[in-house]
Amino acid sequence: MNRLKDKVCIVTGAAVGIGRACALRMAEEGARVALFDVLDSEGQALLRQLQVQGHESRYWHVDVASESEVQRAIDEAAAWFGGLDVLVNNAGIAGINKPTHEVTVEEWDRVQAVNVKGVFLCTKHAIPHLKRAGGGSIVNLSSIYGLVGAPDVPPYHASKGAVRLMTKTDALIYAPDRIRVNSIHPGYIRTPMVEHHLQSSGATDLEQALKDLGNLHPLGHIGEPDDIAWGVVYLASDESKFVTGAELVIDGGYTAR
């Protein structure tokens, strides 16, 4: 219950899916959680749930592709909670599913703006606060498709590969400041984004599509948001004090082949 006691943690894309699970599990482990998202109704509902459970938390409307919004929210969160210890860069979108030669510049840029620039901006503006705290942890959500390829959603896969290398670069840059930077690489997790991806790809029976997707993993099923959230808790905690620049793969064996 105290793995993250009194640590101030920002979670981007916190309102639903993996981000929501991260916020809940981190709060249960004693963290004080700043929730960032653009889904205000879902974010406020999560905030109420956390507050009812007795956890210290606050919600900010933040588009991670906007530097002004990111800087304002991170500075306000650090001021509100009295510092910053952990940043979880979870916000992301799947984007369009077309072959590369059919993707428009606008479709490409939107995915990179959220998935890559968003990680850059949040890291950029969190670093001064983490330095003031004497160190901390940044956890970047990449994907199995930051490690291997697949014949679909090229903007998304490119973005997650970028996040993987950004993680290693920042791990080296900020190691002298005792700021650890690691990436998590989920397999398919049952989230609204995955369900929407299946439906937009033509699935008419969602449950059967999820089952078929699960069969791509050696363990025979897709993951749950908590499977990723517990990995985030570990990387945010002092249990991982000697871990930086690492890739934590949580994928049911998908990339073990």
CA distance 27 to 18: 14
Reported as a single tens digit per residue, the pLDDT across 105-117 is 999 999 999 999 9
> Residue 16: is its pLDDT beyond 90?
yes
In sequence order, what are the residues at sequence separation of 6 or more whose Cβ sits closer than 8 angstroms to the Cβ of residue 12? 19, 36, 37, 62, 64, 87, 88, 89, 90, 91, 118, 122
Domain spans in the chain, listed from the N-terminal domain onward: 8-187+224-247, 189-222
Looking at residues 19-33, what average pLDDT do you find? 98
Summarised one tens digit per residue, pLDDT across range 200-246 is 777 778 888 888 888 999 999 999 999 999 999 999 999 999 999 99
Residue % of the chain over a pLDDT of 70: 100
- Average pLDDT (85-103) is 96
Cβ neighbors of 252 (< 8 A, separation 6 or more) are: 187, 214, 217, 218, 219, 220, 221, 222, 223
| pLDDT level of residue 161 (50, 70, 90 thresholds) | very high
* For range 41-59, the mean pLDDT: 98
Confidence of residue 160 (pLDDT cuts 50, 70, 90): very high
Query: What is the pLDDT at residue 213?
Result: 84
Beta strand 57-61 with 86-89 is unpaired
Cβ atoms 222, 188 nearer than 8 A:
yes
Question: What's the pTM?
Answer: 0.95
Instruction: State the catalytic residues.
Output: 156
- CATH code assigned to 8-187+224-247: 3.40.50.720
Mean local confidence (pLDDT), 150-172: 97
Average pLDDT over residues 90-118: 97
Instruction: pLDDT band for 50, please (50, 70, 90 cuts).
Output: very high
pLDDT in tens, 115-138: 999 999 999 999 999 999 999 999
